[in-house]
Amino acid sequence: MGRPPCCDKANVKKGPWTAEEDAKLLAYTSNHGTGNWTSVPQRAGLKRCGKSCRLRYTNYLRPNLKHENFTQEEEELIVTLHAMLGSRWSLIANQLPGRTDNDVKNYWNTKLSKKLRQRGIDPITHRPIADLMQSIGTLAIRPPPSAAGASSSSYIPVNPAAAPGLQPLHDDVKYHAVLNHHQQQVITLLDPDAPGAAASPDHQLKWSDFLADDAAAFEAAPQVVLGQYQEAAVAGGGAAYGDTDSIAADGVGGGGEDSAASAFIDAMLDSDKKMGVDQLIADLLADPAYYYGGGSSSSTSELGQGG
DNA sequence: AAATCGGGCAACCGCGCGCAG
DNA sequence: CCTGCGCGCGGTTGCCCGATT
């Protein structure tokens, strides 16, 4: 059950905006500000839904918006932030002055995700596709799990570098080393109360663990993991990260059934609440070693050359 | 030259969250 | 505490236009 429509759909215009409508909206917002969007159409003399007005303003009419192509630096930043934050486009867009979440989202969907795929990197997990395919292949030839094998208590996240058959592609070793480093920086910045920080020293919350979740989870519940990949393939989105609730109270992956990756997201969300995520990202970006392209080459810094 | 295809982008939709009454 | 409302977000759709056949 969702909210009722915010306006009378029969009496509002839909579709592309005309120059006249843009002018009316711009004139109104420049004189009165944006305030209450539901009242804007009436006050501005527009036969539009307030929601549509807000969208048009924020994505197109708002001052200081950039309309030129994305730069190499912006591309790299988007890829990096997507690896850390997933499809939280508004947060990513906040780090890109003059860009809207819609801009970033469209650019990702139409360009960046394809570039990553062309480079053999899965745009959802930011892991080499070869790893994922190999993992799925491994799954396919595995015998059905025994009852003991399916026990959640046997679940132990592993480092991908230590997992046989999960070695990154040679060209992407640097990429993942740097990526994991920054992902772990995010974790490090989390509140001490965050699940990962509360874990025991030999079982700390690491993004690499989450990335390796599926491989390790094969040991516990192969059918569940495969289901996640199938979901991801069907949904074409972040389903592989899971929509489950959170990690078990006893630590990372303790529950076994929930995706540990979703626990990472939960940890991020917790962190959002306790310290502004903008500050978190700003801290990361302030690190001179942050940018992939700074000195050592990497996959992301070469995105433009991959096509 | 016409038809078809595919990419890119603007806009829409549904939902969750926060806040005020 | 509950309810309704408005805002913002992410996912999706549909149109436009250039490329290809």
The DSSP line for A17-79 is PPHHHHHHHHHHHHHH-S--GGGHHHHHT--S-HHHHHHHIIIIISTT---SPPPHHHHHHHH
A4: the nucleotide nearest its CA (via C1') is B14
CB A199 within 8 A of CB A205: yes
Instruction: Tell me how far apart the alpha carbons of residues A216 and A222 are, in angstroms, rounded to a whole number.
Output: 9
Domain assignment present for A187 = yes
Question: Does the CB of A119 fall within 7 Å of any strand B atom?
Answer: no
CATH value at residue A36: 1.10.10.60
Which pLDDT score is estimated for A118? Answer: 81
Taking the complete model, does pTM exceed 0.75, yes or no? Answer: no
Let me know whether A147 and A288 are in one domain: yes
Domain assignment present for A116 = no
Domain assignment present for A241 = yes
Single residue among A26, A44, A61 that ends a domain in this structure: A61
Which pLDDT score is estimated for A279? Answer: 65
Q: How far in angstroms lies nucleotide B5's C1' from the CA of residue A56? A: 29
CB A151 within 8 A of CB A180: no
For chain A of 307 residues, list the mean pLDDT of each consecutive stretch of 10.
52 85 87 83 87 88 86 89 86 88 89 85 81 70 44 31 33 49 45 34 37 39 38 35 32 37 50 56 60 38 41
CB A268 within 8 A of CB A44: no
**Chain B nucleotides with an atom closer than 7 Å to a protein C-beta:** 7-17
Let me know whether A54 and A156 are in one domain: no
How many domains are contained in chain A? 2
Let me know whether A56 and A134 are in one domain: no
Instruction: Tell me how far apart the alpha carbons of residues A151 and A148 are, in angstroms, rounded to a whole number.
Output: 5
Let me know whether A171 and A282 are in one domain: yes
Let me know whether A165 and A245 are in one domain: yes
Q: How far in angstroms lies nucleotide B20's C1' from the CA of residue A36? A: 14
Let me know whether A194 and A277 are in one domain: yes
Let me know whether A274 and A147 are in one domain: yes
Which pLDDT score is estimated for A20? Answer: 87
Single residue among A61, A81, A100 that ends a domain in this structure: A61
Q: How far in angstroms lies nucleotide C17's C1' from the CA of residue A104? A: 21
- Cα–Cα nearest to A290, from A80, A148, A84: A80
Which pLDDT score is estimated for A31? Answer: 85
Domain assignment present for A101 = no
Let me know whether A54 and A150 are in one domain: no
Which pLDDT score is estimated for A139? Answer: 66
Domain assignment present for A66 = no
Instruction: Tell me how far apart the alpha carbons of residues A200 and A198 are, in angstroms, rounded to a whole number.
Output: 7
Domain assignment present for A103 = no
Let me know whether A134 and A265 are in one domain: yes
Which pLDDT score is estimated for A267? Answer: 55
Cα A58 to chain centroid, rounded:
22
Domain that residue A152 falls in: 129-306
Domain assignment present for A245 = yes
Let me know whether A144 and A288 are in one domain: yes
Let me know whether A285 and A197 are in one domain: yes
Residue A179 corresponds to which amino acid? L
Report the 10 Å Cβ neighbour count for A99: 21
Let me know whether A173 and A287 are in one domain: yes
Q: How far in angstroms lies nucleotide C16's C1' from the CA of residue A262? A: 38
Domain assignment present for A158 = yes
